[in-house]
Amino acid sequence: MAPDVCASDVCALFDGNSLAHRAYHAMPRLWTHRGEPNHAVYGFAAMLLKALGQLRPACAAIAWDTPSPTFRHAAFEGYKAQRSAPPRDLYPQVGRIRDLAEALGLACLSQDGYEADDLLASLAVQAAADGFEVVVVTGDTDALQLVGPGVRVLTPVKGLSEVVLYDEAAVRARCGVAPIQVADLKALGGDPSDNIPGVPGIGARTAARLLAEFGDLETLLASTDRLPPRYRDVLLAHTEALRRNRELTTMRFDAPVRFEPTTCRLDDRDRPAVVAHLRSFGLGRLADRLPDPNAPPRPTRPPRPRRPPAAASAQLPLFG
């Protein structure tokens, strides 16, 4: 069991696009008194305030995607090609979400050419190196590769009603591999959410079994003579695609962002301004969920691993 998360040394990093899309699809349709769609704002705000209340971080930031293509699109034309355009009524809601986040004191970060994932990864390793206990809040399982000393991942499940906190044991229980092997697992087995094709005939379970035996993708490719012909032949035929896949699935730690605790401290939040923002968005009823900076920390523990790996945790309520 990993140690408790203490408010004094927690850095919370949020995946803005992932959580906004989840809120949009999980919540029933809501509108402001001006007739503007508001359900994604409500869901995101409720989730954000609950996470801040449970984690009580010393600092926090939100990473956002930009519309510009990334190095992954250049490497693979089909990257995320199956995704339809975001709903038109989500765009204005994202603007209001960012306004609220900034009012709460969260730094909002984005960088052309990089995904929010890469900003989160780069910030996470920097914050952990500075001695913070990092919690990455995202709906994207790619982030499980970040889990390790000083870094855990919190993911919503069942819409927005519950969350799972992943430590290394929980990642193994869900994926069958260590966090450091998650990118190789997705390279071998594919990742439909990003339109990354896996190796034909090798699904997630077989990929996990191969990685358990050989450790990583390069060692596996160098050891094909030890494999049954049905695996050897298909791996040799897809070697180039596998290496490309690994480039696509690996989160970057060298994005041009810098973790600066002083720019994302939550100690000096202007509570009246946050309440005013909530009311202007028609969300005044969420004002009583604002975390009290003077309240004692509430320890948050990782889940107990369990199998099968549908959800490797005892789940934590996010609302209520």
- The DSSP 8-state label assigned to residue 183 in this structure reads H
- In tens digits, the chain (320 residues) has pLDDT values of 333 444 458 999 999 999 999 999 999 999 888 889 999 999 999 999 989 888 889 889 999 999 999 999 999 999 999 888 888 999 899 999 998 888 888 889 999 999 999 999 999 999 999 999 999 999 999 999 999 999 999 998 876 678 899 999 999 999 999 999 999 999 999 999 999 999 999 989 999 999 999 999 999 999 999 999 999 999 999 999 999 999 999 999 999 999 888 777 776 566 787 888 888 888 888 888 887 656 655 544 444 333 333 333 334 444 33
The whole-number pLDDT of residue 148 equals: 95
CA–CA separation, 112 vs 186, rounded Å? 25
Strands 162-166 and 151-157: antiparallel
CA–CA separation, 278 vs 44, rounded Å? 12
Cβ neighbours of residue 259 closer than 8 Å, sequence gap 6 or more: 11, 123, 126, 127, 130
SS3 142: helix
The DSSP code sequence of 79-106 is TTTTPPPPPGGGHHHHHHHHHHHHHHT-
Q: Are 251 and 117 in contact (CB under 8 A)?
A: yes
CA–CA separation, 89 vs 86, rounded Å? 9
Domain ranges within the chain, ordered by starting residue = 7-176+260-299, 179-249
The whole-number pLDDT of residue 296 equals: 54
CA–CA separation, 245 vs 188, rounded Å? 8
The whole-number pLDDT of residue 269 equals: 60
Q: What's the CATH superfamily of 179-249?
A: 5' to 3' exonuclease, C-terminal subdomain (1.10.150.20)
Q: Specify the amino acid at residue 9.
A: D
CA–CA separation, 175 vs 221, rounded Å? 21
The whole-number pLDDT of residue 292 equals: 67
The whole-number pLDDT of residue 162 equals: 83
The whole-number pLDDT of residue 247 equals: 96
The whole-number pLDDT of residue 263 equals: 75
CA–CA separation, 27 vs 52, rounded Å? 20
- With b meaning 16 or more CB within 10 Å and e meaning fewer, what string describes 50-65? bbbebbbbbbbbbbbb
- For residue 37, report the phi and psi dihedrals to the nearest 5 degrees: -60, 140
Strands 162-166 and 316-317: antiparallel
CA–CA separation, 320 vs 315, rounded Å? 14
Q: Are 224 and 161 in contact (CB under 8 A)?
A: no
Q: Specify the amino acid at residue 163.
A: V
Q: Are 27 and 72 in contact (CB under 8 A)?
A: no
Q: What's the CATH superfamily of 7-176+260-299?
A: 5'-nuclease (3.40.50.1010)
| 7-176+260-299 against 179-249: fold identical | no
The whole-number pLDDT of residue 163 equals: 86
SS3 132: coil
- With b meaning 16 or more CB within 10 Å and e meaning fewer, what string describes 263-298? ebebeebeeeebbebbeebbbeebeebbbeeeeeee
In residues, how long is the chain? Answer: 320
The whole-number pLDDT of residue 300 equals: 43
The whole-number pLDDT of residue 285 equals: 86
